[in-house]
A = this chain, B = another copy of it.
Amino acid sequence: MITVIQLPAAVHALDLFGTAVFALTGALRALTRKLDLMGAVVLAVVTALGGGMMRDALIGRHPPAAFADQTYLLIAIVVGIAVFFWGRTIREQESWLITFDAIGLGVFTLVGAWVADQTGLGNIGILFIAMLTATGGGALRAMLVAEIPFILKKEIYASASLFGALTYLALSALDCSNTVIIWSVMLMTTGSRLLAWRLHLNLPR
C-alpha cells in the first residue's frame, strides 16, 4: 500500500479548484460537440480525474486518490451538470478560463510530482508522472471525442508542466523547504503557460 504524505491545506484547496476547472473545460467541450447531459458529465469527470487515475493505476496506489476522497468525483459531476444547464454562454477561449486552466495545470503538475516522489520513483519517472497527472485527463478527453489532444499541438502546454516538474527536481535537489518547492512549481507551471499564451509562443515544429 502506498501512503502519500498529505499536502498542505492550501494545496488541497487548489487541487479541488483545479478539479473543478478541468471538469469545466471537459463539459464545455461536450457542449461544443453537441453531446447530451451524460456526455457532459463523462467528459467533465474524465478531464478532471483521468490523469490522476492513470497515475495511480501505474504506480499502484489503490484505491486511486479519486476514490479515497470522493469529493473530487462529486465536484466533477456537479460541475458537469451545472455547465450543461447554465454554461452555454461560456466560450472555450475566454481569458479567465485559460487562466484558471493554467492554475489547474500548475496544481496537478505539483501533485503529480509530489506523489511520484513519495512513491520513490527516479527523476525521469517523476517528470513523466507529473506531466501525466496534469495532461493525461485532457488527452483522454480528446481521444474520446476523436480529436488530437492539444498536448500534441497547442502552444506551450505540456511544456509548461515539464518546466514545473523540472523546477520540482531542481529545488528538491537543493533541499529547499516544502513550502518553497510547492509554490515555485505551481508558479513556474502556471506562469510559463500564461506567458506562452499571451505571447503566442510555440515550440519549434
Q: Are B123 and A42 in contact (CB under 8 A)?
A: no
Query: Judging by beta carbons under 8 Å apart, are B42 and A158 in contact?
Result: yes
B residues in contact with A67, CB < 8 Å = 58-59, 121-122, 125, 128
- Are B70 and A123 touching (Cβ within 8 A)? yes
Main SS class of interface, A: helix
Indicate if A64 sits at the interface (CB-CB under 8 A): yes
Interface range, A side: 35 or more
Interface 0/1 of A19-40, CB less than 8 Å to B: 0000000000010011111110
The residues in A between 34 and 85 inclusive whose CB is less than 8 angstroms from any CB of B are: 34-39, 42-43, 45, 53, 56-60, 62-64, 66-67, 70, 73-74, 77, 84
Alpha-carbon distance between A124 and B145 when the two chains are bound, in angstroms:
24
Name the B residues within 8 Å of A123 (CB-CB): 70
CA distance A30 to B203 in the complex (A): 13
* A126 (CB) vs chain B CBs: closest residue: B67
Which residue numbers of A lie inside 8 Å of B, CB to CB? Answer: 30, 33-39, 42-43, 45, 53, 56-60, 62-64, 66-67, 70, 73-74, 77, 84, 119-125, 128, 139, 142-149, 151-153, 158-159, 162, 202-205
